Structures are given as C-alpha cells and as structure tokens.
Structure 1
Amino acid sequence: MPPEAPLSAAEPAREAARAQLERLWARGRDFLGCEAAIMGGAMSWLSERNLTAAISNAGGFGVLACGSMTPDLLEREIAATQALTDRPFGVNLITMHPQLDDLIRVTLAAGVGHVVLAGGIPSGGAVRAVKDGGAKLVCFAPALVLAKRLVRTGADALVIEGNEAGGHIGPVSLTVLAQEILPHIREVPIFVAGGLGRGEAILAYLEMGASGAQLGTRFAAAAESIAHPNFKQAFVRAAARDAIPSVQLDERFPVIPVRGLANDGTKRFLAHQAETVRRYQAGELTKEAAQLEIEHFWAGALRRAVIEGDVETGSLMAGQSVGLVTSVQPVAAIITELVEQAVAALASRHTIATPL
C-alpha cells in the first residue's frame, strides 16, 4: 500500500484559518441557526420565496421582505418559502405598515423564528408581540444612542447599515458606524451591512466585534433571483461610482435618500423636481400637492426595473458593492466565495507566522 501523501504546507494554515473564522462568527451562526453568519438583505420584489430559500439552503440566512404585502399575501409567501427550504429564515417587516400587528401575528403563527423590524424604531407593542410570540427580534441601529435604546427595549440582535448600501440609506458610512457602535455594544450580536462584497471585508468587521454580515446587492444579481435579466446585467456592467443617492433640489421639498444606479430615470427625476418647484412658485400647486408630485415620481419604478426589466426609467436600487458584481452566480457560489476569501486572508497570516 503506497504511503499517504504528506500534507502541503498550506493545508495546516487553511485548517487553522477555517477554525478561526468559525470562532469569529460563532455567535452570529448560533443566533441565526445557520452555517455561515451571512444574512440576505431584505429587498422589495427580490427577497421573495426563491431567493430567501436559496440563501438559507446554501448555508446563509435568507430574509423574506414583506414590504407592502397584506397579511394574507405574507402568509402565502412564508408557506411557499417553507416549501422550498427546511432551514431557518427570517421575515422583514416595515414598522410603518398599517397592518403591522396582523403581519407579526401571521409570521409568528407560521413558526418563523426571527423577525426583523425595519424602517423606524419599533413600538413597545410590536417588540412585546414578537418576543411574547417566541421569536428573536432583529432591529436596525443607525447610531450608538439608538443601538443602546433598542437593546434596552428588547432587541435580540442589531444590524448596522452604512450608507454604502442600496435602497433607503442613512447618512453615515459603515466604517464610521462600526467604530461608533461595535466597541460599545456587547450584549447582543451585531451584523454589519452596506458596501460588503468580499470575504476579507466581512472578516475585518468580525475582528472588530461584529457577529456576522448582511449582503443585498450581490444576492440581487444571483442566478436564483427573480430579477429580470436586464436588471442583473445592469449590475454586472455597473461600477461602484454608478450607485448614487437620489438628489434633492429644494430643501422645502425633502427627498428620502435612496441609492441606486444612475439612469435616464434619475435624470428625469431631477427635471421633474425642477418643474414641480416651478409650478409651486407659480401658484399652480400647493406645497402639499407639490410634495406628493415629487414623492409619487418613483411609484412602481422598482417593480418596472426588477420584474419588467425597464433599466432605463425604472429604479435600480443598488449598493456601491455593485462594482464587485462581475457575473451572475448561484447563491451557493457567492457564499462559498465569501467564506473562502475570508479563510484565505486568515491562512496567509498563519503561513507568514509559521517558521520554515
């Protein structure tokens, strides 16, 4: 019988690196109940049953985006997701939804173990309903003072999302939020989000004290995403600088900042704002009517881009990590790549540290 081939010099380093990564995100993995502490960002029209289940089946943690769904529709979507995966996944609910109480009830009745409350500070009643129902509560914290408040009021985990992210964004980058929050909040797991597209970046935040990461943009262009091929190819072609926040022309008419790919629609939005302000100043519109004119410009625009493939006038919500999307990949390949990048970064340190 031939002797066994000796281990290559790199293999012990990789084994040590993988074990170190497991230690770094063990808290996040245990909290989510998955193999890799990588959450899917909840994206309207995209984070439905197929993408959510694919992320969970690949060892990550899928999150179903409720958005503006009715309770009946959410109930059906949860059931459809459960038919595609037997692994844990979460449901993202918007705190401003007029039927939030019913949505929480439906989610809990379906046996979902993690509820993400987004879009604002959740009410005490919503927090109690989730926790009394036996689910784990995840909240978004845009600043340290709010992170402390959310932990005091019952959040079981936090997501801190920088303005590099796609969709609705806050004013602070993840690099600053991480420095502000991670050293001071130890009571609950914290997941970082915004601009993440490689495993080395995730590793850096884990070493700062994060328990895991949340990614949206890379999964938006995944093979299992129901997004139109035009939408995915727009992501593949885009550079980081193409993902820009919406521009506000007049402070009297606030525009909620949303990051997306610049296209003909973003140019038309600027012209629409200018024309609306002109009509207001001419007395053709009241201030309230002018604000509604501006707010309604993007109505249905995300669906047009995601489902219908209108990448010219639709809303192409994307984070700056879109520049790292170079092809349409299966979700499993994306997660494997992220993990291997983190392991390789750690292994290189072990190799350097090991004397010849």
Structure 2
Amino acid sequence: MQSQSKLSHLMKRGTDLLGSETAIMCGAMSWVSERNLVSAISNAGGFGVIACGAMTPDLLDTEIAETKKLTSKPFGVNLITMHPDLMALIAVCGKHEVTHVVLAGGLPPKGSLEAIKATGAKVICFAPALSLAKKFLRSGVDAIVIEGMEAGGHIGPVSTSVLAQEILPELAKEVPIFVAGGIARGSAIAGYLEMGASGVQLGTRFVCAHESIAHPNFKKAFIRGNARDAITSVQVDARLPVIPVRALKNKGTEEFTKKQIEVAKLLDAGEIEMGEAQLQIEHFWAGALRKAVIDGDVENGSVMAGQSVGMVKAEESVAEIVKSLTDEAEAALAR
C-alpha cells in the first residue's frame, strides 16, 4: 500500500491537472487515437487524447461527440499548430467543452493560446528543448510534454533521457511535465517520476490494445518488430524543413524520400510556397499512415512506431496495459 501511495503521490500534480486516476497519457496517433482507444484509455484510469491530425472541423466535431458517448471521463484533443483551420478547430473544442487541448508541431500561431484559454480548457504543449519549454512557461501553458527521439511518428533530435535531465531539474517545480518517447515499462515511469516528472505519455504500447482500431496487419507488424526496425526518415533537402518521422522500415519509407525530392523540385521551380510544400509532406504522411493503419498495407504504408516497439509482445486490453504499467511502477518504487 505504501508503494501505491508513493506512486499516486508522485503522480498527484499530473492527475490533478488531467482529472484522471493515473497520470498516463496516450500519445495522439493519427488514425489510431480515435473514439474507441481514447475512451477506453480514459475509462481505464489513464488519459486519452484524440489525434485531430488533418481532420476538418466537422470531422473533429463528430469525433468528440462520439467519444463523449463512450466515456464520461476527461480526455484531450491534440491539434497540429500548422493546421490551416486551427482557430476553427479550437472553436469546436470549446463548443464541446473539451477540458484539455494539446498543441503539437512547433510554436502556436499568435492568438491560439488565448483562444484555447478562453474556452476554459487547459493548454499542454510539446517542448523539444529547454529554451522552448521556458518560452511556453512565459506564455502561460498549463503543462509541458517533453518527447525524445525514441518516440514514433514526428520526432525531435534529442533522446528522452537527455531531455529529462536537462528540463526536469530546471522546470519541474514550476509546471507539470510529462515525459514521452521510448517508454513501455512501469519501471521507466517510476524513474522519470522520481526525477520530477508529473506523469508520462505512451503511444506505441497502446497500438496493439484490443480496443485499438488499427488493422490486424498493423498490430502484427508491431508484435514482430524490434527497436532496430523503427528508423527515422531521411531529409533530402536542407531547404525543406521536414520534421523526421520514426516508422518501421518498409517500401513506404523509401516512397517518402521520393516524395521529398518531388516537392523540393516544385519548390525550386517556384511552383509552390514553403507553407504549401510542408502541407504536401504532412498530407503524404496522413495518407501513408491511413494506408497502413486502416487498410493494413504495412509494406507500402507508413508504420509509425517508437523504438519501444520491441517490448510490445501481444495484443491485450487497455485496462491490462494500464494495470501492468502501474503495477510495475509501484514495484519499482517499493524497491
């Protein structure tokens, strides 16, 4: 019991902020973090987050409404800062009284933080560097996620363990910080909590949950995969600032390199602007990810996975995943 109270004590700032039983957030994974998985995670005591990705305001409107039918527990919505309809998406979150909005993909455009705050929601931002974390603090964000390069999907250049050592000692007392990237076991959660984190975020571990709508082929690729298979995309043109993506190596990763060359040529010819170039890249990923997650084409689609994929050994329920993570964390803290 003592170790259990220690876990809840270390997670208290995180659970107070999220309104959940445990400060375990699920990373927003396009096509995967939708109503079924999000509600299951919140119902199991964690904190689910809808991945808005490239959704239109109407699609997000429906997704939030459907998620609310499946859970009465709090959940969040992840919005991409470069989305052309960002303000309309924030308004949709406000209409549904979404309690937490997570912003990803760079600095939020002018007025967006204020617009979210005006709805009464808490704002959580990703900070891939200490300087950016400090900037967010000055902007008045309610919490920060520090995500290392071990994560799946879009990643920064620094590892989780280094970011945690840089940022937690400096800022953990000032704002709740969630650590993400490469976490798949409760012992790692315990370690980051003892370093000052208020909670953690996991994505890869939840992909193979029974409640995840990911295609059976996608789940099989995760169960077969190991850490070395989850590689980062290559940037072919320095002028095209493509955020690297970590995914399982397949034909789709090669297609992405070709797509970058094609977009760089259009940029050279002056046929498109930089903003449009970046959006084309984003849309490529959204389409390639859908091909793998929904259609099950794990050869040509994008199988985004973190390096912790090697620790995903079987399909199990969300409740089992959350319980094993908290049990392992409690055991580690008791030691």
TM class, shorter-length? over 0.9
State yes or no: 1:323 paired with 2:310.
Answer: yes
Deviation at 1:266, TM superposition (A): 2.0
1:53-82 superposed Cα distances (whole Å, 9 cap, x missing partner): 000000000001111111111111101000
Task: Call closer, same or farther: CA 1:74–1:162 in 2, change over 3 Å.
Answer: same
Aligned to 2:153: 167
Name the SS for the 1:117 alignment partner.
strand
Q: CA deviation at 1:117?
A: 1.2
Gaps of 5+ in 2: none
Which residue does 2:329 correspond to in 1? 342
Deviation at 1:299, TM superposition (A): 5.9
Change in CA separation of 1:213 and 1:298 when aligned onto 2, cut-off 3 Å: closer
Residue in 1 that maps onto 2:130:
144
Between the two proteins, what is the percent identity of the paired residues? 64
Does structure 1 conserve the Cα–Cα contact (< 8 Å) formed by 2:113 and 2:123? yes
Query: Does the residue aligned with 2:170 lie in a helix, a strand or coil?
Result: coil
Q: Which has the larger radius of gyration?
A: 1
Q: Give the structure 2 partner of residue 244 of structure 1.
A: 231
Counterpart of 1:219 (choices 178, 200, 206) is: 206
Relative distance call for 1:17 and 1:237 in structure 2 (3 A) is: same
Q: Tell me the CA shift for residue 321 of structure 1.
A: 0.7
Letter in 1 for 2:47: F
1:184 aligned partner, one-letter code: E
C-alpha distance in 2 between matches for 1:304 and 1:59: 31
Give per-residue Cα distances to partners, 1:221-275, cap 9 Å, x unaligned.
Answer: 211111000000000000011100002345455543100000122244456767x
Amino acid aligned to 1:125: G
Separation of aligned partners in 2, 1:273 and 1:79: 36
Q: Distance in 1 between matches of 2:170 and 2:131?
A: 10
- Alignment of 1:229 with 2:219, yes or no, is no
RMSD (CA atoms): 2.3
Distance 2:187 2:151 in 1: 18
Which residue of structure 1 lines up, in the alignment, with residue 68 of structure 2? Answer: 82
Letter in 1 for 2:185: R
| Count of aligned pairs between the two proteins | 329
The aligned counterpart of 1:4 is: none
SS at match of 1:316: coil
Task: Name the SS of the counterpart of 2:50 in structure 1.
Answer: strand
Q: Call closer, same or farther: CA 1:101–1:255 in 2, change over 3 Å.
A: closer
Provide the rounded CA distance (Å) in 2 between the counterparts of 1:345 and 1:147.
29
2:196 — aligned with what? 209
Q: TM-score, normalised by structure 2?
A: 0.92
Indicate conservation of the 8 Å contact 2:97/2:119, yes or no.
no
Question: Deviation at 1:31?
Answer: 0.7
Q: Is the 8 A contact 1:243 1:261 kept in 2?
A: yes
Alignment of 1:313 onto 2:300: yes
Distance in 2, matches of 1:238 and 1:68, equals: 27
Q: Distance in 1 between matches of 2:253 and 2:293?
A: 16
**Alpha-carbon distance in structure 1 between the residues aligned to 2:81 and 2:259:** 30
Moved more, 125-134 or 227-236: 125-134
2:164 aligns to what?
178
Is 1:37 the counterpart of 2:49 in the alignment?
no
Question: Partner residue of 2:78?
Answer: 92
Distance in 2, matches of 1:273 and 1:255, equals: 8
Distance in structure 2 (CA, Å) of the matches to 1:248 and 1:121: 21
Q: Secondary structure at the match of 1:326?
A: coil
Unaligned stretches of 5+ residues in structure 1? 1-14, 350-356
Aligned 1:271-290 pairs, distance under 5 A: 286=269
CA contact under 8 A between 2:222 and 2:309: conserved in structure 1? yes
1:121 matched to 2:107: yes
- Is residue 30–residue 286 contact of structure 2 (8 Å, CA) maintained in 1? no
Partner amino acid, structure 2, of 1:341? E
State the AA in 2 paired with 1:26. K
Q: Post-superposition shift, 1:297?
A: 5.8
Separation in structure 1 between the aligned mates of residue 43 and residue 228 of structure 2, nearest angstrom: 32
2:246 to 256, 259, 266: 259
Deviation string 1:92-129 (CA, Å, 9 cap, x unpaired) is: 11111111111111101101111111111113411111
Q: CA deviation at 1:311?
A: 0.4
Which secondary structure does the structure 2 equivalent of 1:184 belong to? Answer: helix
The CA distance in 1 between the partners of 2:145 and 2:138, in whole Å, is 15
Distance 1:254 1:160 in 2: 21
Equivalent residues of 1:247, 1:255 under 8 A apart: no
Asked if the contact 1:231/1:309 (under 8 Å) is kept, the reply is yes
